[in-house]
Amino acid sequence: MKFRKFGKALLMGALSIGAVLSVTSCVESYTVGYLYVTGTQTTGTSGSPGQGIISGFKIDHNTGQLRPINGMPVSSGGSYPGRAVLMLSSRFLYVLNQGGSDCTTNPADTDCEKANIVQFSIGGNGILVPQQTFYTQGKNPFRIIADTSGQHIYVLDHDAPDNSSCALALGASFTTCGDITGFTVESSTGRLSLMTNAQVSSSNGTPLTYFPVPSNSIDMLFSGSYMFILSGTPDTGDFVFPYAYANGQLTVSQNSIQQIGTTQATAITTGNSFIYILDNEPITIPADTTGPFNPGVYPTQILPWTVGAGGGLQAATGGTVPGVANETNPMFLLATTKAVYVANQGDIVNFNPANTQSGIAGYVIDTSTHQLTPMSNSPFGSGNGPTCLVEDPSSQYVYTANYNDSSVTGRSLDQNTGELRALPGNANKAYPLNGPASYCLINGRTS
C-alpha cells in the first residue's frame, strides 16, 4: 500500500498521539495512601458540642493533592477525639475519645466520664466502619500508642482508678498517680482484651488491671525495649520515667528516673534512634557562643537524647537546640532520615485568627555528628495552629492538621535540602474540615 503525503502526515500524527497517550498512562495518578484526621464537629450536620468525627482523604501520588474519601467524615463514636493508632497491617483503626475538652486540667468535668476507645475496620477505598467500643481502667485518658510487635495497645490515663497502689508500684513518696491501661489485640478480629499487671498486686492480693505511672503525665512513647513517660509541672520540674518492656509488661526502672531540667515540656517523641523532648520555655544563646544559632532569646527548645543503660537518658552531642524565634507551643515532631520538623501550635486556646506564633520549624540532621541545624527558609507556613505532622508513604509530601482554622495543609518535601514547598499547582491550598483538628495519621495500605 502506498500513501500520499497527506496520508503519511495523518499516520504520523496518529502515531504521535498514541505515543503521548502511552507515556501519559505510565504516570497516571493513583492513591498512595489515606490521611485520617480526628477532630470535633462544628459545621455540617447537626450534633452535640464536641461530637467527634474522623475525616479521610486520598493522597495523590503525583501531586500530593487530597481528595475526600467517599462516605467520610464519620462519627468517632464519642466526644472530643484525640490520638489514634493503626494496627494489624492497617486493617483496623482505634480512636481515643476523651469525652471532654479539658479532662487533664479539669478532671471533675462529668463529660470526661464518657471517654472510650472505638475500633474501626478499614474497608475498600479507605472507608471506616465502626466495630466495637472499649474502656480504660483509669480516668481521663489522653494518649494511645501501640507497641512495635503489633500485639498490644496502651492508653495513658491522667488519673488511676484509685491511689492505693501508687506507692506499691512507684515508691513510698507517690501518694497519687495516673495509670496505663494495656490491651492485647486479637489478630483476626482486632478485639481488645484487658491485660493484667504481673508485677504489682492490689492491697487484697489480686493483680492490678493497670500499670501505675506518675501523676501529671504529659506524654509517652516506645523506644527500643523501653516505654518512656514524660511527667511534671512548672512547680516540680519535668521528669522522664523509663519502663522496661517485655511480653507486654511494663516495669519501672527506678534507678533511671531522670529530671531533665525543664518545667514546661509538651511532648516526647522519637526518630533516627534519638529521643526528642519539646519544651515551651525560653533558652538564651550567649553572644560569645559559636554555633549555628544566632545569639539571642528563643521562646522554645528541643532536647535530643540517646538511651543508655537501664533506659537512662543521655544528652546527645550538641545538647539543647533552640526553637524558632517568635513561634511557641511546640507540640509535635516528625523525624525523617535527613531532617526534623516541629509543629508549633502557637495560641490555640483563644482561637487566635492571627496566631503568628504557629508554623513548622525545619532542622537538618548532620550525618556525622547528628546535630540539628536550622534549615534554609525555615520556618515554613502551615495552617493556623498545627496539631500534628505526617509524611506520606512515598516520602514526597508532609501534611499538618490545624486546630484554629479547621483545615489540612500539605507541602512538597525537597529530597535534597529537606525544605517544604507548596504542593505542585496548589500554592497554600488548605483543605477544609468540619471543625478543629486534633490528630492525623497516614495509612499506606490502599488495597
pLDDT tens, 146-160? 998 999 999 999 999
Higher local confidence (pLDDT), 290 or 366? 366
- How many angstroms separate the CA atoms of 421 and 194, rounded? 45
pLDDT digits (tens, 9 = 90+) for 62-72: 999 999 999 99
> Is 261 part of a structural domain of the chain?
yes
Number of domains into which the chain is organized: 1
> Is 8 part of a structural domain of the chain?
no
Note the pLDDT of residue 22. Answer: 42
Whether residue 377 has pLDDT greater than 50: yes
Whether residue 143 has pLDDT greater than 70: yes
- How many angstroms separate the CA atoms of 279 and 42, rounded? 31
Note the pLDDT of residue 436. Answer: 95
Residue holding cell 529530597? 415
Whether residue 290 has pLDDT greater than 90: no
> Is 10 part of a structural domain of the chain?
no
> Is 34 part of a structural domain of the chain?
yes
Range of the domain at 246: 30-443
Note the pLDDT of residue 47. Answer: 56
- Averaged pLDDT for residues 195-214: 88
- Averaged pLDDT for residues 390-416: 95
- Averaged pLDDT for residues 346-357: 78
Note the pLDDT of residue 14. Answer: 47
Q: Which cell goes with 315?
A: 544528652
Residue 411 CA to its chain's centroid (Å): 17
Higher local confidence (pLDDT), 420 or 337? 420
In whole numbers, what is the pLDDT of the chain averaged over residues? 89
> Is 21 part of a structural domain of the chain?
no
Helix (H) or strand (E) holding 245: strand 237-246
pLDDT digits (tens, 9 = 90+) for 237-249: 999 999 999 999 9
pLDDT digits (tens, 9 = 90+) for 10-60: 444 444 444 444 444 455 779 999 999 999 998 875 556 679 999 999 999
> Is 13 part of a structural domain of the chain?
no
Note the pLDDT of residue 373. Answer: 93
Highest mean pLDDT among 9-13, 128-132, 168-172, 337-341: 128-132
CATH number at residue 356: 2.130.10.10
Note the pLDDT of residue 272. Answer: 86
> Is 64 part of a structural domain of the chain?
yes
> Is 146 part of a structural domain of the chain?
yes
Highest mean pLDDT among 198-207, 360-369, 419-428: 360-369
Note the pLDDT of residue 369. Answer: 81
pTM beyond 0.75: the answer is yes
